[in-house]
């Protein structure tokens, strides 16, 4: 079976103040099947730009190039914009960090889910409503009818993020790209949302790209982890093998976090080797 997503030598460049192009993503390659892939890195590592480039959401001044960027055999770089739009939100879903910014503030949550569905499938109004309600129930919202009629500002952050997931999953995507989906949430809510996401991804057999700064969280959630530094993948590792990471950057990231029940003063600090960025 061919992989769901092929990314080969992906590069994203932006013009700086002087107008010269600076690469934010410098030759990222990976293949994704129906699995959970974590992409981890610190700010400026290019992890978010990688996700955005796959979705076709790179800011207009940025330039995206790749030897190959294909989703299920469709070349994303050469296909017409309309095909790409249909994929986005249809077969490729996305969940972004803060539901406050990614939900439309003047539409009810239910209407937004129904609209997503209408954009990608021909369904009757009644069926759309029923599927939206079922989807809200699937993300474990207690009273779907009530939440269906609420506006995004009327719900909490955790509820908003669940609504966002519902909206993205209603069209039954094959691939879900989640960029820091739980970073804006409290820890306890965070786990609840992850549990829902985990179950849905497993039940529906989707591919998932989970982008986050939190190495420990990602490794506990995903099957495989790409560690990015300065626009490149410095290490690819099975999530269970994290303690045996080879790259000093991955090791440094793991050891510099304070841990409960451990007293290390001072904390080990990451010594950045300029060679990592080469």
Say whether 188 sits in a helix, a strand or coil. Answer: helix
Listed residue (54, 271, 58) closest to 178, CA to CA = 54
Our finding on whether 42 is near other proteins (CB under 8 A) is yes
Number of residues that bind other proteins (CB under 8 A): 38
According to CB under 8 A, which one of 262, 274, 275, 278 is a site residue for other proteins?
262
Of 86 and 223, which CB lies nearer to other proteins in the complex structure? 223
Compute the least distance from the CB of residue 242 to other proteins, in Å.
11
Our finding on whether 213 is near other proteins (CB under 8 A) is yes
Residue 28: how many other CB atoms lie within 10 Å: 24
Compute the least distance from the CB of residue 13 to other proteins, in Å.
18
Q: Compute CA distances 75 → 56, 67, 69, whole Å.
A: 12, 10, 6
- Point out which span in 53-61, 77-85, 167-175, 211-219 binds other proteins (CB under 8 A): 211-219
According to CB under 8 A, which one of 188, 203, 274, 275 is a site residue for other proteins?
188
Q: Which residues have a Cβ under 8 Å from the Cβ of 61 and sit 6 or more positions away?
A: 14, 15
Of 91 and 213, which CB lies nearer to other proteins in the complex structure? 213
Which residues in 57-151 belong to E strands, given as ranges?
Answer: 63-65, 68-71, 74-75, 92-95
Listed residue (42, 13, 40) closest to 26, CA to CA = 13
According to CB under 8 A, which one of 83, 119, 267, 277 is a site residue for other proteins?
267
Q: How far apart are the first and last CA of the chain?
A: 35
Q: Which residues have a Cβ under 8 Å from the Cβ of 278 and sit 6 or more positions away?
A: none
Instruction: Give the per-residue contact string, 120-159, with other proteins (x = CB under 8 A; - = no).
Output: -------------------------------------x--
Compute the least distance from the CB of residue 175 to other proteins, in Å.
21
Our finding on whether 80 is near other proteins (CB under 8 A) is no
> CA-CA distance, 124 to 128, in Å (whole number)?
6
Our finding on whether 234 is near other proteins (CB under 8 A) is no
Say whether 156 sits in a helix, a strand or coil. Answer: coil
According to CB under 8 A, which one of 22, 119, 134, 191 is a site residue for other proteins?
191
Our finding on whether 211 is near other proteins (CB under 8 A) is no
Of 116 and 250, which CB lies nearer to other proteins in the complex structure? 250
According to CB under 8 A, which one of 6, 136, 163, 253 is a site residue for other proteins?
253
- Point out which span in 82-90, 124-132, 167-175, 208-216 binds other proteins (CB under 8 A): 208-216
Listed residue (213, 154, 223) closest to 181, CA to CA = 213
Listed residue (134, 186, 139, 144) closest to 162, CA to CA = 139
Q: Where on the chain is the footprint of other proteins (CB under 8 A)? A: 17, 42-43, 157, 186-191, 194-195, 198, 213-217, 219-221, 252-253, 256-270
């Amino acid at each position: 079976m061919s992989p769901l997503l092929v990314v080969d030598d992906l590069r994203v460049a932006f013009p700086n103040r002087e107008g010269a192009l600076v690469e934010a993503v410098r030759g990222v390659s990976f293949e994704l099947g129906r699995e959970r892939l974590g992409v981890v890195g610190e700010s400026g590592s290019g992890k978010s730009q990688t996700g955005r480039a796959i979705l076709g959401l790179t800011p207009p001044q940025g330039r995206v190039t790749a030897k190959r960027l294909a989703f299920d055999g469709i070349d994303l770089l050469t296909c017409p914009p309309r095909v790409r739009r249909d994929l986005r939100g249809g077969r490729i879903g996305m969940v972004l960090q803060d539901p406050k910014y990614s939900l439309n503030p003047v539409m009810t949550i239910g209407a937004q889910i129904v609209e997503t569905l209408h954009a990608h499938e021909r369904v009757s109004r009644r069926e759309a409503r029923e599927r939206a309600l079922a989807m809200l129930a699937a993300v474990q919202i207690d009273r779907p009818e009530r939440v269906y009629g609420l506006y995004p500002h009327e719900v909490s952050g955790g509820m908003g993020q669940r609504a966002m997931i519902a909206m993205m999953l209603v069209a039954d995507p094959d691939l879900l790209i989640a960029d820091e989906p739980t970073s804006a949430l409290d820890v306890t809510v965070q786990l609840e949302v992850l549990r829902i996401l985990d179950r849905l991804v497993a039940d529906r057999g989707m591919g998932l790209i989970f982008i986050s700064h939190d190495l420990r969280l990602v490794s506990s959630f995903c099957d495989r982890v790409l560690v990015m530094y300065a626009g490149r993948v410095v290490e690819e590792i099975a999530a269970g093998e994290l303690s045996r990471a080879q790259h000093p950057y991955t090791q440094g990231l793991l050891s510099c976090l304070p841990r409960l029940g451990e007293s290390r003063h001072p904390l080990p600090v990451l010594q950045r080797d300029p060679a990592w960025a080469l």
